[in-house]
Structure 1
């Protein structure tokens, strides 16, 4: 079209400026006289005529194909004719000599026309909508893959989007169960600082809906715990039409899941835990405040600033999103929750405990007392064991510590540090395996009442002077904690002191096992005092009254 416009322009210019005849214009511009006359008549070239393609071999089969497509209107969706099936039937039943492409093109056009004529597939028209500030929100889940601690794991991203501003909150959980569904809402409400005043739009997901009542509009039978959650936070739910028909009713969050996954979770994120990933998601969500959605004049953050004051206030009381379970503690001091095992203190063996199963963690209670907290284990059949839960029994069975699962997981998580290993090794050299292990357990018990960093500093100080005693570790740990909390600076410290000079504050004379009295103990100055003497006590002996001698036999007779 563009080339024809240029030719027409040159023809009209030469005719106007040069005054050439139609024959000469046709010869110079190498076009027909008819084209020259068209150019002189109008500056815009006439549209090209597209010849109508005819399919003479198809004509006698059009009625047959139409009958197949009409029968499909009442057939099950998965048992309707495809273009390939229509072609095969024409060849088998009518010995048609015709190309597949011709049949496919005809079926594509006629299927839509027949459905429209029967009123089975009316043209769907989308009406633009306006969402009042602070009134509505949309929620959805989307699949994401995460390289979690070196293992590619399928997780689920919870997305909460305000309909007016587009402000969104995203969190990734190992499950899309009800506990993740509720926890995601709580995170979103706390992040936004309020609750949508009108309603929140949802799919008919099983975390909220127990039963879809067909033929009754949008009426649903809701999950009892979900009803309790909605009542607690004071908002209503709006359920979309089942299946693909209702996807457009919350199109904002449907597109948000894909957009966020493409922009922030591609390539596959590599993290050690979902806590680390969700911390990154919080930062990305804050950065999204500067984004401008399509044709809007203001950014997401500017629009949300207008609707934030219009949100309904949060409830003053907290809501536990965890699923309540009551397993029994087995002989290994473990409880089984969703095919995974978690440890509790050994004093609860053979007792029932209450478990709050959350999306990312497990909380275990004895009555109302929290007795254990674990990160939720994603692997089926996995174990999450804390060494602290077994210390009382390890006092009695110290030989069970070296090969225990609790010790292996404590080393892997960094709770059992190289300082603990060094203390254990030093104690075994002097006290033997059994006594050394019991001494180590006493040190580990210090972690219940003191900060881990203080205990490790205490271990380091004890090892520097060769003292492998839990009492020495406790004394040094308390000293370090006291000085840190009080902000003290030692009087013998000055800024020019070398960092590598170590002050030995504690010396164990017993464990040094001095063989030579003249040996100099590391860290102590030479003792120049005279040896102690008991001469003063000898002087006191002379002042003691002497006992009178016993009477003789003669004196006794007289």
Structure 2
């Protein structure tokens, strides 16, 4: 603030924001001289806070809170302020044609950082550490930090996305980022911090543990853990719920290979995408054998049934020639 005038020292981010949307900044006078210039805005903010944020709403995420605020805002549009003859929405309908159109390109509100990936395949952003794929070790990446999450880019390609840590000196690791390294050193997998966090987040389920235990009994500690790594790598192409269903089916069948898990997971995905084929008297839960399915889909056969009458004539000739031969022997 410069003296008691309307002038302000604007930050670079605010200049970029108002330039993007074509906003002309105009500031109130500080102190008593400008108290009357912003009373209406502050009064309506107070009304909204008292009616919607008192008591403080309990939500599970910032996205949920934003959705609630949007619904409250839509409801307030039907309200009249004081004794005015029109609602807020009706007044806005008059003003809207006078406003400039919004720009086509969105404005990036996140803050940008360019940290270097350390030897643990992690980056540090605002005192907290986040994992990235191990292939990026030693490289510098671009991070866009938002209020509730952060996105990591290698050049222009998104390589990681994390929920933002609020406390200081925290660490958030993604198990998938370390799979290429762990498959070469499977002995480090059981004690990995990324595995512990995956369990806590529900991404590494009891089904994973059961399949892993059985794989180690059958294939041995090292090869069984490697087989699990191959299954986890499938998660890059197969949805998590389908992969867990494939693991459960393969475990019941005693098939402890990644190929079988992939096959069963794709069966689950196909069953969700396509309705089951049913025939007469067949329920969707019945098993249909392949030859039965093919027969059910063949067109009706309208040809007449085959006849063996011509072959009967051959049999009569054979009997007659046999009888003549026996009469010659008797003579």
TM-score (norm 2): 0.78
Cα RMSD, aligned residues only: 2.6
Are residues 1:288 and 2:76 paired?
A: yes
Mapping of residues 334-483 of structure 1, within 5 Å = 334-483=122-271
Question: For 2:98 and 2:34, how far apart are their aligned partners in 1?
Answer: 28
Question: For 2:247 and 2:168, how far apart are their aligned partners in 1?
Answer: 38
Mapping of residues 1-40 of structure 1, within 5 Å = none
Question: For 1:411 and 1:261, how far apart are their aligned partners in 2?
Answer: 39
Mapping of residues 80-479 of structure 1, within 5 Å = 212-214=1-3, 217-243=5-31, 245-479=33-267
Question: For 1:432 and 1:421, how far apart are their aligned partners in 2?
Answer: 15
Q: How many residues of Structure 1 are paired with residues of Structure 2 in the alignment?
A: 289
Match of 1:489 in 2: 276
Which consecutive residues of structure 2, in runs of 5 or more, have no partner in the other structure?
Answer: 290-331
Change in CA separation of 1:262 and 1:349 when aligned onto 2, cut-off 3 Å: same
Structure with the higher strand share, 1 or 2: 1
Change in CA separation of 1:224 and 1:296 when aligned onto 2, cut-off 3 Å: same
SS at match of 2:25: strand
Question: For 2:282 and 2:96, how far apart are their aligned partners in 1?
Answer: 52
Question: For 2:228 and 2:11, how far apart are their aligned partners in 1?
Answer: 51
Question: For 1:300 and 1:494, how far apart are their aligned partners in 2?
Answer: 61
SS at match of 2:232: helix
User: Cα deviations across residues 3-53 of structure 1 (Å, max 9, x unaligned)?
Assistant: xxxxxxxxxxxxxxxxxxxxxxxxxxxxxxxxxxxxxxxxxxxxxxxxxxx
Question: For 1:395 and 1:328, how far apart are their aligned partners in 2?
Answer: 24
Change in CA separation of 1:493 and 1:469 when aligned onto 2, cut-off 3 Å: farther
Question: For 2:194 and 2:44, how far apart are their aligned partners in 1?
Answer: 42
Runs of 4+ in 1 over 3 A off after TM superposition: 243-248, 482-485, 490-498
Task: Give the superposition deviation at 1:243.
Answer: 4.5
Larger RCO, structures 1/2 (Cα 8 Å, 6+ apart): 1
From the CA coordinates, give the structure whose radius of gyration is larger. 1
User: Cα deviations across residues 265-302 of structure 1 (Å, max 9, x unaligned)?
Assistant: 23333233222222222222222222222222222223
Change in CA separation of 1:242 and 1:482 when aligned onto 2, cut-off 3 Å: same
TM-score (norm 1): 0.48
Change in CA separation of 1:289 and 1:331 when aligned onto 2, cut-off 3 Å: same
CA contact (8 A) 1:387 1:410 kept: yes
CA contact (8 A) 1:399 1:434 kept: yes
CA contact (8 A) 2:143 2:151 kept: yes
Question: For 1:248 and 1:426, how far apart are their aligned partners in 2?
Answer: 74
SS at match of 1:221: coil
CA contact (8 A) 1:461 1:504 kept: no
CA contact (8 A) 1:465 1:504 kept: no
Task: Give the superposition deviation at 1:488.
Answer: 4.1
Change in CA separation of 1:253 and 1:334 when aligned onto 2, cut-off 3 Å: farther
Question: For 2:282 and 2:49, how far apart are their aligned partners in 1?
Answer: 53
User: Cα deviations across residues 154-206 of structure 1 (Å, max 9, x unaligned)?
Assistant: xxxxxxxxxxxxxxxxxxxxxxxxxxxxxxxxxxxxxxxxxxxxxxxxxxxxx
Task: Give the superposition deviation at 1:477.
Answer: 1.7
Change in CA separation of 1:259 and 1:401 when aligned onto 2, cut-off 3 Å: farther
Which consecutive residues of structure 1, in runs of 5 or more, have no partner in the other structure?
Answer: 1-211, 506-558
Change in CA separation of 1:410 and 1:292 when aligned onto 2, cut-off 3 Å: farther
